[in-house]
């Protein structure tokens, strides 16, 4: 009897202790929740505040609804105003002018100038600007990135029709075709074909400076666009931005590696759009010279090309032959450095497989030395 009584008392004591411990833990948890209400997201919290299921990590103590994960390059007006008219702005584009001569005010007379972003740094190139101001995280809201030179005429170009073609054909990297009669041509693959919507291959067994021996596969004869007017999809730009070398500002040779960022077969995902074409005037303004070759000026040589030449003249520079020579030498030196880096990276990365090595081997087998 005494043993049963002792067991009963012991059970009561144990139950009392367990109850008090559980009660203490509950009170402690409640106090911590009141002191740090945003540390975790429970199911009841998510239901109460309607937090999306994907939202797991909090940013500081911010409520989820106020967090803005993306940004853009749109200029926001201080007051209500009408939109500027230009070729790209009405088509939901954001335009950024990279000023390598530092002369931003020289563009103020253009009606759309105040509606675009101006970034100035003396004697730099668009690849230098792109590496520093077009990080994929910054431009992630945009579906396509147009990284164009300043000496292009767009009289016969529609951004909307161009992107419709790019989407329908699945082009990750592209460029508009060049008007052969009015443009300075470096590679024949970039010349607009009058029949068809786009092309990605150019073959010509005749060897000349213009066609660069286009009797073989690969850049610059197939699956390739030139660095003067490339257009990148968001996915392609994520890759190309990392391909741009921080210190090699002229970007020579980088367009030969665009295929590695084409999200697949470069002969299918890279192309030149023929139905929407532009004029490449070949104005060499970097370094001071604005002289162009005879016959390459367009019929309406007005907007950006004329403005660039006008600004260069206002700076009082004589034709910069010496400067241009130095720039060309630096560009060639950077091309060699870029190729050496690529070769070294390919050699040292033992897990990397060149997706185009097989096609090169086939080409060698068909053309034994």
Cβ–Cβ < 8 Å for 97, 105: no
Tokens 């086939």 sit at which residue?
362
CA 349, 261, 167: angle at the middle one, nearest 5?
160
Q: Which residues contact 179 (CB under 8 A, 6 or more apart)?
A: 156, 192, 277, 278, 279, 298
Please, what sign has the CA dihedral across residues 196, 184, 187, 289? negative
Q: Give the distance, in angstroms, between the CA of residue 91 and the centroid of all CA atoms in the same chain.
A: 18
Instruction: Count the neighbouring beta carbons within 10 Å of the beta carbon of residue 313.
Output: 10
Strand 198-199 versus strand 152-153 pairing type: unpaired
pLDDT tens for the chain, 369 residues long, are 666 777 777 777 777 777 777 776 777 666 555 544 444 444 344 444 444 444 457 776 666 776 777 777 776 655 444 443 467 877 889 999 999 888 899 888 888 888 899 999 988 999 999 999 999 999 999 999 999 998 899 988 999 999 999 999 999 999 999 998 998 998 999 999 988 899 988 877 555 444 456 656 788 888 999 999 999 999 999 999 999 999 888 989 999 999 999 999 999 999 999 999 999 988 876 655 444 444 333 344 444 555 555 555 554 555 445 787 888 899 999 999 999 999 999 999 999 999 988 655 555 555 554
Cβ–Cβ < 8 Å for 289, 144: no
- What's the DSSP call for residue 20? H
Three-state secondary structure string covering 126-176: HHHHHHHHCCCCCCCCCCEEECCCCCEECCCCCHHHHHHHHHHHCCCEEEE
| pTM greater than the 0.75 cutoff | no
DSSP 310-322: HHHHHTTPPP-HH
- Residues 190, 210: Cα–Cα separation, whole Å: 11
Q: What are phi and psi of 99, to 5 degrees?
A: -95, 105
Q: Which domains does the chain have, with CATH numbers?
A: 89-308 (3.90.550)
Q: Which residues contact 189 (CB under 8 A, 6 or more apart)?
A: 199, 201, 202, 214, 220, 221, 222, 224, 272
């Amino acid at each position: 009897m005494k043993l049963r009584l002792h067991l009963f008392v012991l059970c009561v004591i144990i139950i009392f202790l367990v109850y008090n411990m559980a009660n203490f833990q509950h009170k402690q948890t409640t106090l911590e929740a009141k002191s740090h209400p945003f540390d975790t997201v429970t199911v009841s919290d998510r239901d109460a505040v309607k937090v999306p299921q994907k939202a797991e990590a909090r940013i500081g103590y911010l409520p989820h609804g106020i967090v803005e994960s993306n940004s853009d390059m749109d200029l926001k007006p201080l007051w209500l105003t009408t939109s500027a008219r230009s070729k790209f702005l009405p088509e939901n584009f954001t335009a950024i002018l990279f000023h390598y001569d530092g002369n931003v005010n020289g563009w103020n007379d253009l009606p759309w100038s105040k509606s675009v972003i101006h970034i100035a740094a003396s004697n730099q190139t668009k690849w230098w600007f792109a590496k520093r101001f077009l990080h994929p995280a910054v431009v992630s809201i945009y579906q396509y990135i147009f990284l164009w030179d300043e000496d292009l005429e767009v009289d016969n170009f529609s951004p909307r029709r161009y992107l419709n073609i790019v989407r329908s054909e699945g082009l990750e990297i592209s460029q508009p075709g060049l008007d052969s009669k009015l443009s300075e041509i470096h590679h024949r693959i970039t010349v607009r074909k009058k029949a068809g919507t786009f092309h990605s291959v150019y073959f010509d067994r005749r060897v000349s400076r213009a066609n660069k021996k286009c009797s073989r596969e690969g850049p610059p004869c197939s699956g390739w666009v030139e660095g003067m007017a490339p257009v990148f999809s968001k996915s392609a730009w994520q890759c190309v931005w990392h391909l741009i070398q921080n210190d090699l500002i002229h970007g020579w040779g980088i367009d030969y590696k665009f295929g590695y960022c084409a999200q697949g077969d470069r002969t299918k995902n890279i192309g030149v759009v023929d139905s929407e074409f532009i004029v490449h005037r070949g104005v060499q303004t970097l370094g001071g010279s604005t002289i162009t070759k005879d016959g390459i000026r367009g019929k309406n040589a007005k907007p950006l090309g004329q403005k660039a030449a006008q600004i260069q003249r206002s700076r009082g520079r004589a034709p910069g032959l010496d400067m241009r020579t130095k720039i060309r030498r630096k560009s060639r030196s950077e091309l060699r450095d870029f190729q050496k880096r690529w070769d070294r990276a390919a050699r040292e990365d033992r897990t990397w497989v060149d997706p185009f090595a097989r096609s090169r081997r086939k080409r060698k087998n068909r053309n034994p030395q």
